[in-house]
Chain A
Amino acid sequence: AQSVAQPEDQVNVAEGNPLTVKCTYSVSGNPYLFWYVQYPNRGLQFLLKYITGDNLVKGSYGFEAEFNKSQTSFHLKKPSALVSDSALYFCAVRVPGSSNTGKLIFGQGTTLQVKP
């Protein structure tokens, strides 16, 4: 079965410190990888995606993600966390193929708590 895992339910980091939110995937073929963020009572906001090319992808609000094919991972990173980054983060994959049209497979989400 195709799946995405976010091994940490919650990540705590002090403001100004670097942050990492982990994501690993288990899918067939060569998937496309996405990160979304969700603030309370809001929908999902797109941060970045990996399609091909450079393994380090830069996205919105200073976030970046590192794709590692051998480890099937796509960890989200930010050099210096802000209190306003506190939210729920989702990793997602999209597998090419007609049977997967329009379908993202999501991890269970990681709550990021940035403390002042």
Chain B
Amino acid sequence: KAGVTQTPRYLIKTRGQQVTLSCSPISGHRSVSWYQQTPGQGLQFLFEYFSETQRNKGNFPGRFSGRQFSNSRSEMNVSTLELGDSALYLCASTSFGLAASDTQYFGPGTRLTVL
């Protein structure tokens, strides 16, 4: 099975712009979670989607949003970019995500740089 894929791998944007990142989960997986990784804050949970519905959300401002499509592919959007949004954005997929013991499988990430 192909793993989790994320596009693009690298992005450079300027402050004030918006950006959309894409994540395709492992085939058959229906739950997608997003994380932000920075040197200062480490890995932080952004949100999780299942069956096109956001089930959980972390402590991020409303500029961070996401959605999931009927084929389980997910996108996250960051509006009005700030310098502090520079990070590696990781998505992870799980079969159903209903059991806390389910393993999350991660994609390679999108490296976002905000200038």
Question: What residues of chain A have their CB less than 8 Å away from a CB belonging to chain B?
Answer: 31-32, 34, 36, 41-46, 49, 51, 90, 92, 94-97, 99-109
What is the count of residue pairs linking A and B with beta-carbon distances less than 8 angstroms? 76
The answer to whether A43 touches B90 (Cβ under 8 A) is: yes
Min distance, Cβ A42 to any Cβ of chain B, angstroms: 6
Within the assembled complex, what's the spacing in Å between the Cα atoms of A43 and B43? Answer: 11
Most buried by A among B100, B106, B107: B100
12 A-B pairs (CB sep. < 8 Å): A31-B100, A43-B106, A43-B109, A90-B43, A96-B100, A101-B56, A101-B98, A102-B104, A103-B56, A104-B33, A104-B92, A106-B44
| Interface SS of B by simple majority | strand
Apart from the given pairs A32-B100, A43-B90, A102-B94, 15 other A-B contacts in the complex at a CB distance below 8 Å: A32-B101, A41-B111, A43-B6, A43-B109, A44-B92, A49-B103, A102-B49, A102-B55, A102-B104, A103-B33, A103-B48, A104-B35, A104-B45, A104-B104, A109-B42
